Amino acid sequence: MAPSSPSKSPLRWLAALLATSSLLPAAHAQYYKIDTPDEIRQSARTLAYDMMLYYQGNKSGEIPGILPGPPTEHKGDYYWWEGGAMMGTYVDYWFLTGDPSYNEVVKQGMLHQVGPNADYMPPNHTASLGNDDQGFWGMSAMLAAENKFPNPPEDKPQWLALAQAVFHTQAAPDRHDETCNGGLRWQVPPTNAGYNYKNTIANACFFNLGARLARYTSNQTYADWAAKTFQWMWDVEYIDHKDWRVYDGGHVEHNCTDINKAQFSYNAALLLHGSAFMYNYTNGSEIWKERIDNLLTGILRDFFPDGVAFELPCEGRQGACTADMLSFKGYVHRWMSVVTKVAPYTADKILPVLRTSTEAAVKQCTGGETGRRCGFYWSGGVYVDTAVDKTSGAGEAMNVLAAVSSLLINEAPPPVTNETGGISKGDNNAGSRSRGPSTPLAPITTGDRAGAAILTILILGSAIGTWSWMSLGD
């Protein structure tokens, strides 16, 4: 280093440095504060505003409910299911912060995508429908019922009825067969690539909806389906019997024994979330407590190293994550926070980790012209441009919005049921028009009853985790 010029004192050097630094963009300063509930709400409001900038569905000529896409049609980075996930994120945002600014946008989007039979099978997407696609929209409708989100107009489908419709269509015989001794296939139409694949996320969405509908309606039929579906995933060993790692799926031509051992955070978190609802519904059943405890241990071990959310199969290499995977951290934060409300004994273990992870998340939100754009790589503590993963950044923004909003979970009441103040109306026949008369659902008598497609085929490329992905459509 060259010596200082004798003509300039150290104080003048410092003044010059400060003057220069003041001209630099504020990209290295942390914008979001989360130390108090008021700071959390303010940060969440800004994050919600910035996230909505990625959404075009509330603009003239655009389609309500979806993020720009699908990529197979070169319309954007996002498949249909992620719009449903975004709607759920904003339902939680409203519930936790009390800010109704986006409620009408969410209501419009969720109702626009229900399809002619009010079961989240719109014609534009039915031909390429995955059970997990439909499941994510159904779970957002279920969330709206649980959070007492403002009801749709009376002449429109109601939130609980929509969740029921999704579950009923998936419980119908035409979605189930004897291959692999049961379980839902990934895709719905037999012509779709991936129809021969039975995966965890499709079954986890179905299980999760069943568990939540059981709790909401006190109807045992839903609980029976949920228990049966979890047991199937255990029996086929998509859930490892030793360390409770949750794997992705297998192919019917191999009797689902060719297990793809890819681990995705949302698979494990969705099973944890549903298990917590079953624990609550069964008044603290020991079997569901055991499942909660083991799944939670696995999630914290595999997906929260050093207490910060980390997407195991792709995050070790920048540019390896798909647009789908880039949204998983937010769902995991949201679902784990709710676990603390329906299985309260978990709070001491979960909440400190969610805070540590969120602190890392907001620390790296220093990108873009605003100096507050969020990336995906939280543990590094610095913003990594979303271009590295070739996306616009909607999933990355949604993750941080979800994480920050979820810090308010302590102030929130548990999800309601129809006995604790629920306001959404159910429909015994929801989903029947799509099922058709030849595939009746087993009777459900209670009046008020009731994911996301990783549209890719996963191939385990090597022991060090090289992944090849092929998009299959929305």
The CATH number assigned to the domain holding 383 equals: 1.50.10.20
The Cα–Cα gap between 112 and 372 comes to: 31
Q: What pLDDT score was predicted for residue 463?
A: 27
The Cα–Cα gap between 324 and 473 comes to: 12
> 417 near 436, Cβ under 8 Å?
no
Count, residues in the chain: 474
- Of 473, 310, 300, 329, nearest to 403 (Cα)? 329
Q: What pLDDT score was predicted for residue 433?
A: 80
> 282 near 216, Cβ under 8 Å?
no
- Residue 456 within any structural domain of the chain: no
- Residue 6 within any structural domain of the chain: no
Range of the domain at 184: 30-439
The token pair that represents 310 in the structure block: 């980390």
Helices (H), 380-458: 394-406, 432-435
The token pair that represents 373 in the structure block: 């754009």
Backbone Cα Rg of the chain: 23
- Which helix or strand (DSSP H or E) is residue 265 part of? helix 265-281
- Residue 444 within any structural domain of the chain: no
- What is the bridge-based pairing of β-strands 197-199 and 249-251? antiparallel
Q: Which residues contact 241 (CB under 8 A, 6 or more apart)?
A: 234
- Residue 20 within any structural domain of the chain: no
Mark 171-199 as b/e (b = at least 16 C-beta within 10 Å). Answer: bbeebeeeebebbbbbbbeeebebebbbb
Q: Report the sign of the C-alpha dihedral through residues 4, 10, 13, 14, in that order.
A: positive
DSSP, residue by residue, 346-395: GHHHHHHHHHHHHHHHHHT--BTTTT-B--S--TTSS---GGGGTS-SHH
Confidence (pTM): 0.88
- Total number of domains in the chain: 1
pLDDT in tens, 343-386: 999 999 999 999 999 999 999 999 999 999 999 999 999 999 99
Sequence-distant contacts of 176-182: CB under 8 A, at least 24 apart: 179/252, 179/255, 179/256, 180/236, 180/250, 180/252, 180/255, 180/256, 181/232, 181/235, 181/236, 182/228, 182/232
Q: Give the largest CA-CA distance in the chain.
A: 93
> 272 near 292, Cβ under 8 Å?
yes
> 342 near 279, Cβ under 8 Å?
yes
Can you list the residues of the chain whose pLDDT is less than 70? 1-28, 435-474
- Of 253, 352, 374, 268, nearest to 308 (Cα)? 352
- The type of residue at 318 is Q
The Cα–Cα gap between 81 and 69 comes to: 11
- Residue 18 within any structural domain of the chain: no
Q: What pLDDT score was predicted for residue 28?
A: 53
- Residue 453 within any structural domain of the chain: no
132 CB-contact burial (10 Å; exposed 0-12 / middle 13-18 / buried 19+): buried
How far apart, in Å, are the Cα atoms of 343 and each of 140, 238, 257, 292, 415? 20, 24, 33, 9, 12
How far apart, in Å, are the Cα atoms of 353 and each of 297, 323, 408? 12, 25, 14
- Residue 458 within any structural domain of the chain: no
**Three-state DSSP state, 471:** strand
DSSP, residue by residue, 90-143: HHHHHHHH---TTHHHHHHHHHHTSTTTTSS--HHHHTT-BHHHHHHHHHHHHH
Q: What pLDDT score was predicted for residue 40?
A: 98
The Cα–Cα gap between 400 and 375 comes to: 9
